[in-house]
Structure 1
């Protein structure tokens, strides 16, 4: 049986806060290449994308620090052959809300499905706003695999996706890089030449 063509999609904010629950949220120390290999098993990577709201600076020290940290994350993601797709952040009643990220994820899911660019979508997100896109992917005969966290899985995503993988803390601890292992991350999983439009 030929390896499946896979799309890896990570909802960045969702991912960060689930890792934060486990005290593993230092993303600059996270081995995204090893994570991709873990998710792919023996399948073929078409593309891996990390979705997040873009931090904009307003001249304050806090936003400058947040912006600088996000830029470092983007560099880290590129080293591990991840694209990043940006939504935006909107402040309302002193609370920051992320907008546009779920739309970007859904669009990429549907484009890949309708263009027959993939066989399987590996979705690292517990956002139930994505369920309409999930159902459409399944209707088109593609595999949609939900990747969640064992300490807080989404029952709705488990029920609606073709397959589910629930990450345990011990799985993730092995993916946190120590200073000595940063030099060995060159052997990252590279996407095939096929591109999504």
Structure 2
């Protein structure tokens, strides 16, 4: 289902949702599909909750090593972004350090970054939330098919699962394991996209939830 159609659908405003965002996967998709713009996480979460009760947003990100050559400015920019989204009500940022491995390319050494442990943390938090009855619906923002068995287990616990991803990063395994697939696009997200200098954090749903909790 396209995001535009999803937003027109009616939902029970008592339905509790938690959103789990695989930042690395989302960042790459936005860069590829949205012309290098950034996504306002607060507004994005509002769209996905779609007038339902947003309990919490979990944002999982692997941070750059600022001590490596060429990383200082990028790491500083990443940290500013992380500090900014921490101001969004009911958002939890979980960070882990990017790991690096040395590879040889044309007789020269190159450090290649990779994530470790992020998938396990996401899976653990989604499952724990289901077992503790923290939500009625889990919304996973990722195109990583490795999460499919986790989503199947969540459904067996009586919870609903939605998967949001761009077509360029979608996973058939995830889509098949979900109750609903929300197809993201630059057009449907145009009001949530920004260039870094114009970034303003505002989360309407999260603010509303704080009054109703």
Instruction: Tell me the TM-score range normalised by the shorter chain.
Output: 0.7 to 0.9
Could you report, residue by residue, the CA deviation over 1:141-190 in whole angstroms, capped at 9, with x for unpaired residues?
Answer: 1011000113442111111111110112201222123799756x445432
Query: Given the alignment of the two structures, is residue 12 of structure 1 paired with residue 20 of structure 2, yes or no?
Result: no
Alpha-carbon distance in 2 for matches of 1:187, 1:128: 29
Where does structure 2 lack aligned partners over 5 or more consecutive residues?
Answer: 1-11, 104-110
After superposition, the Cα gap between the structure-2 partners of 1:54 and 1:113, relative to the gap in structure 1 and judged at 3 Å, is same
After superposition, the Cα gap between the structure-2 partners of 1:107 and 1:156, relative to the gap in structure 1 and judged at 3 Å, is same
* CA displacement at 1:100 relative to structure 2: 1.2
TM-score, normalised with respect to structure 2: 0.79
Which of 71, 74, 94 aligns to 2:79? It is: 71
Alpha-carbon distance in 2 for matches of 1:36, 1:129: 23
Residues 102-181 of structure 1 aligned to structure 2 (within 5 Å): 102-177=119-194
After superposition, the Cα gap between the structure-2 partners of 1:24 and 1:12, relative to the gap in structure 1 and judged at 3 Å, is farther
Task: Give the aligned CA root-mean-square deviation in angstroms.
Answer: 2.3
Q: Secondary structure at the match of 2:115?
A: strand
8 Å Cα contact 1:123/1:145 also seen in 2: yes
* CA displacement at 1:110 relative to structure 2: 0.8
* CA displacement at 1:67 relative to structure 2: 1.8
After superposition, the Cα gap between the structure-2 partners of 1:37 and 1:70, relative to the gap in structure 1 and judged at 3 Å, is same
TM-score, normalised with respect to structure 1: 0.85
After superposition, the Cα gap between the structure-2 partners of 1:56 and 1:178, relative to the gap in structure 1 and judged at 3 Å, is closer
8 Å Cα contact 1:144/1:161 also seen in 2: yes
After superposition, the Cα gap between the structure-2 partners of 1:66 and 1:190, relative to the gap in structure 1 and judged at 3 Å, is same
8 Å Cα contact 2:149/2:177 also seen in 1: no
Could you report, residue by residue, the CA deviation over 1:59-96 in whole angstroms, capped at 9, with x for unpaired residues?
Answer: 53x22212201111112212333321112311122211
Residues matched between the structures, number: 189
8 Å Cα contact 1:5/1:120 also seen in 2: yes
Higher Cα Rg: structure 1 or 2? 2
